[in-house]
Amino acid sequence: MNDKTLRFLKKRFQDYYQDAHIHLPPEYTSREWGFILFDDMPKTVMRRHMAFGSSGELQDYFAWTVPAHAYYSVAYYEYPNASNMKDKNWLQSDLIFDLDADHLPHVPDSYPEMLENVKQEALKLYDFLSDDFGFGEDDINIVFSGGRGYHFHISHPSVRSLGSAERREIVDYISGRGLDISQIIGKSYVSGDSGRRDASMFVFPSENDGGWGAKINRYIISYISNIVNSNKPIKKLTGFSGVGKTTAEKLVNIFNDEKQLALLKKGKIDMVSNTSKNLFEYLGKQAVDNLIANVDEPVTADVKRLIRVPGSLHGGSGLKVTTLSASQLENFKPLEDAVVFKDNHITVNVTQPSTVEMKGNKYHVNEGVQDLPEYAAIHLMCRGGAEYGSN
């Protein structure tokens, strides 16, 4: 990134920060703040161990120093601006979850697809936090990172004193790590007097069990119900290993009978054949793979982590680090809703051919001088794929 591009980006970021609302975290005066400034680039220099006594002081810092990246600590300190971490005197920390496309099992090449995939992970994480851990919507602060994922902030007093080990346990639960699926669904053997496993029963969770049991029950019933209510359900069901026509027909009848379906939701499975039980067990394992949320454990476990400031701009994309409510998350479109720059065209010299999809438009850009809407041009420049101007 050349000097001309840096000056242009700094000016446009500064224009934004003159009027922007920076979302202040709880007890922001007890936080450490850190910044990477345009003035220090192209070197990456983190200016940290900073603290602010008022919102006006913080707002002025953004407006006049113009950070490319802005962070604050998840930790609360007695002396947040102490230059030595030990001297800060850690008090407590918010509970943070980081969802990043880099941690997904299959990362698509397309940026929009990548963002959609990680949003689905965010929706799953929200379900865990609300359904399994009992946090209310007001307790969970959801933030689009401005880059490739989402951050979840929980500042509830009940979590602030948790240590790293307890925070890892929460991630283990959400990630399904260490989950013994056989204790939730499948054959459970009963030992006789001789100690031999000479009898068995099939364990099936109820939707009222809570936790993983309830999730697996809902997943299996929803999965099979969707098949039963689709075209050619018998053909689809017999596509599963071991499921014949008779078993498939019986399943269709059960799932079309409200009373029997209600019993299944309560964990009652006597009406289901052994072959169908095998299918349920298979789907139970599939449920875990599909329901886990792929969160970045080191971020959650780090009680002194720096996290991006909501309301700031991400210097690697030009997008806004955007705070969302749970009701806004599902319909949130980051490449539209987190775009803050204008539609007027500017000239850039593209150094890396690429495709930019923003605000409902798609631009295929080749190397050389191009005229693009400012929001697309800034996105390219922030990613290092273009320089400002024609030369």
Pick the more confident residue, 172 or 101: 172
Tell me what the mean pLDDT of segment 265-278 comes to.
82
CA distances from 27 to 30, 80, 305 (A): 6, 11, 16
With a cut of 60, say whether residue 191 has pLDDT above it. no
pLDDT band at 200 (very low <50, low <70, confident <90, very high): low
With a cut of 90, say whether residue 347 has pLDDT above it. yes
Residue 157: predicted pLDDT: 93
24-30 long-range contacts (CB < 8 A, ≥24 apart) are 24/55, 24/58, 25/72, 25/94, 25/153, 25/155, 26/94, 26/155, 27/76, 28/52, 28/55, 28/58, 28/72, 29/53, 29/54, 29/80, 30/76, 30/77, 30/78, 30/80, 30/91
**DSSP labels, 357-388:** EETTEEEEE-SEEEEEEHHHHHHHHHTTSEEE
5-46 pLDDT, tens digit per residue, is 999 999 999 999 999 989 999 999 999 999 999 998 888 899
Catalytic residues: 98, 100, 296
Distance CA 268, CA 207 (A): 11
Percent above pLDDT 90 for the chain: 75
Structure tokens at 29: 């005066």
- Whole-model pTM: value is 0.89
The identity of residue 220, as a single letter, is: I
Residue 184: predicted pLDDT: 85
Percent above pLDDT 70 for the chain: 96
At 158, which helix (H) or strand (E)?
A: helix 157-160
At 312, which helix (H) or strand (E)?
A: none
Give 3-state DSSP helix, strand, coil % of the chain, rounded to 5.
45, 20, 35
